[in-house]
Amino acid sequence: MNSKPYVREVSKTTWFLSHPRYQRYMAREVTCIFIMAYTFLLICALGSLADGPDAFQEFLNALRGPWGVLFNVAVLAATVYHSATWFNVTPQAMPIQRGEEFVPGHLIVGAHYGVWAVVSLIILVWGM
């Protein structure tokens, strides 16, 4: 034991820039900003729906500008990254033991992607 141990400081604001692993983590985390924003877009859609056909048309018109397209593209990128990162870690968070062995991770992940495809198809068919 010595009386002068040296403590290395870590920046509270820029620590994640130091390694690609942390950069990927922060990219995953900031998807929440896009998801929050998009959810409020949906809420606005509901509000305009409740207010009647004119209000709803106003909402659609606002959505149809270049900013509307840009926003949706940005959210799409964020939400797809969220989905992929979420599915990929599911076996770690919820391992399934059948008998002695654990269900292989790639099966669990694959099943999630499969369900994602089916659910997406249903939503797209309904929405179009």
Partner 1 sequence: MSELQKRQIQLEVLRYNPETDTAPRYQTYSVPCLEEWVVLDALNYIKDHLDPTLSYRWSCHMAVCGSCGMMVNGEPKLACKAFIHEYKEGQIKVEPIANFPIERDLVTSVEDFITKLASVKPYLIPKEDKPVSAGEFKQTPAELKKFKQYTLCINCMLCYAACPQYALVPEFLGPAAISMAHRYNQDSRDGGRDQRQEVVASDEGVWECSFVGACSEVCPKHVDPAGALQQVKVASTIDWYKEHLMPWMKR
Partner 2 sequence: MAKSNKPIFWGLFAAGGTVTAFVTPALVLVTLFAAMRFNMDMFTYETIHAFAAHWLSKLIIFGVILVSLWHAAHRLRVTAHDFGIRADTVVAYVVYGLAALGTLMTLVYLLRI
37: closest CA among 80, 66, 69, 72?
72
Residues of this chain, 20-39, that bind partner 2 according to CB under 8 A: 26, 29-33, 35-36, 38-39
From the list partner 1, partner 2, none, partner contacted by residue 115 (C-beta under 5 to 8 A by kind)? partner 2
Torsion from C-alpha of 118, 121, 122, 126, nearest 10 degrees: 180
Give Cα separations from 64 to 124, 125, 128 (angstroms).
Answer: 19, 21, 16
Q: What is the CA radius of gyration of the chain?
A: 22
The Cα–Cα gap between 22 and 10 comes to: 14
- Is residue 49 a contact residue for partner 2 (CB under 8 A)? yes
Residues of this chain, 50-109, that bind partner 1 according to CB under 8 A: 89, 91-95, 97, 99-102
From the list partner 1, partner 2, none, partner contacted by residue 68 (C-beta under 5 to 8 A by kind)? partner 2
From the list partner 1, partner 2, none, partner contacted by residue 6 (C-beta under 5 to 8 A by kind)? partner 1
Point out which residues bind partner 1 (CB under 8 A). 1-8, 10, 12, 15-16, 18-19, 21-22, 25, 29, 89, 91-95, 97, 99-102
